[in-house]
């Protein structure tokens, strides 16, 4: 059973300002996001990670870079880990979208939603899970694998492997630069950690 560390990218100005980035190019980590990526690398620098994969979007690749440097591993971009294609909603604020009837459907019945000019949640879930299955087949069952992706794809992958209906995936929380550990095997899947903040120092009183 390979263990996947599903890691959301760090903070950027779109996240900070409540703006939907989608697949917008040129969205880079801000100062807070870079510090998050460094904290992540510090937390995982001694972990027996065998490979690092990432969404090809800049914010994910930049989050993966410090860990790759710490472990002297290469980051392999994988399109299957990319963010949901939100089409015409890219660049718009959550506040403005919240006024739309379609936004309520996104939150309550996402299984029935297709973004205008983009993909559906069902397509995103199928894509991310197919990617994890493909990576699982490439690795030894005992391997630890880091995958840098985005909030919704990670949440939808967790929902799928736990047998949760797609319409409930929004109940999960995946914060920036958090770690979600998922064990995927032939005879079942197990969620080991959800939304772990690697900057937490448990040694402090």
Domain with 25 in it: 3-196
Within-domain flag for 173: yes
Our count of domains for the chain comes to 1
Q: For residue 160, what pLDDT is reported?
A: 97
| pLDDT for res 151 | 98
Indicate whether 111 belongs to any domain.
yes
At 188, give phi and psi (nearest 5°).
140, 165
Residue 204: per-residue pLDDT: 53
pLDDT at 188: 86
Answer whether residue 201 is part of any domain. no
> What are the pLDDT digits (tens) for 54-102?
999 999 999 999 999 999 999 999 999 999 999 999 999 999 999 999 9
Residue 77 lies in a domain: yes
Q: How far apart are CA 174 and CA 8, in angstroms?
A: 7
Whether 125 is in a domain gets the answer yes
202 part of a folded domain: no
Q: Which residues of the chain have pLDDT under 50?
A: none
Q: What is the pLDDT of residue 201?
A: 76
In a domain, 55, yes or no: yes
Distance of alpha carbon 119 from alpha carbon 132, whole angstroms: 19
Strand ranges across the sheet with 188-196: 75-77, 49-54, 144-149, 3-8, 179-185, 188-196
Q: Which pLDDT does position 187 carry in this prediction?
A: 80
Q: Which residues contact 10 (CB under 8 A, 6 or more apart)?
A: 29, 32, 33, 34, 36, 37, 40, 59, 62, 63, 176, 177
Q: 138 lies in a domain?
A: yes
CATH number of the domain that residue 34 is part of: 3.40.50.1240
**Which of 173, 176, 174, 172 has the alpha carbon at shortest distance from 199?**
176
């Amino acid at each position: 059973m390979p263990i996947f560390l599903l890691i959301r990218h760090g903070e950027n100005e779109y996240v900070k300002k409540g703006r939907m980035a989608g697949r917008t190019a040129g969205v880079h980590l801000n100062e807070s996001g870079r510090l998050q990526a460094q904290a992540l690398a510090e937390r995982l620098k001694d972990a027996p990670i065998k490979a690092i994969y990432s969404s090809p979007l800049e914010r994910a690749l930049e989050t993966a870079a410090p860990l790759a440097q710490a472990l002297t591993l290469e980051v392999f971009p994988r399109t299957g880990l990319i963010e949901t294609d939100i089409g015409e909603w890219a660049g718009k604020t959550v506040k403005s979208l919240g006024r739309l009837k379609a936004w309520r459907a996104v939150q309550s019945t996402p299984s029935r939603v297709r973004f205008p000019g983009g993909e559906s949640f069902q397509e995103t879930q199928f894509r991310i899970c197919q990617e994890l299955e493909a990576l699982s087949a490439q690795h030894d069952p005992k391997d630890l694998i880091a995958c840098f992706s985005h909030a919704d794809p990670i949440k939808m992958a967790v929902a799928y492997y736990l047998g949760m209906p797609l319409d409930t995936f929004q109940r999960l929380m995946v914060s920036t630069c958090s770690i979600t550990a998922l064990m995927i095997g032939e005879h079942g899947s197990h969620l080991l950690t959800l939304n772990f903040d690697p900057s937490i120092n448990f040694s402090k009183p």
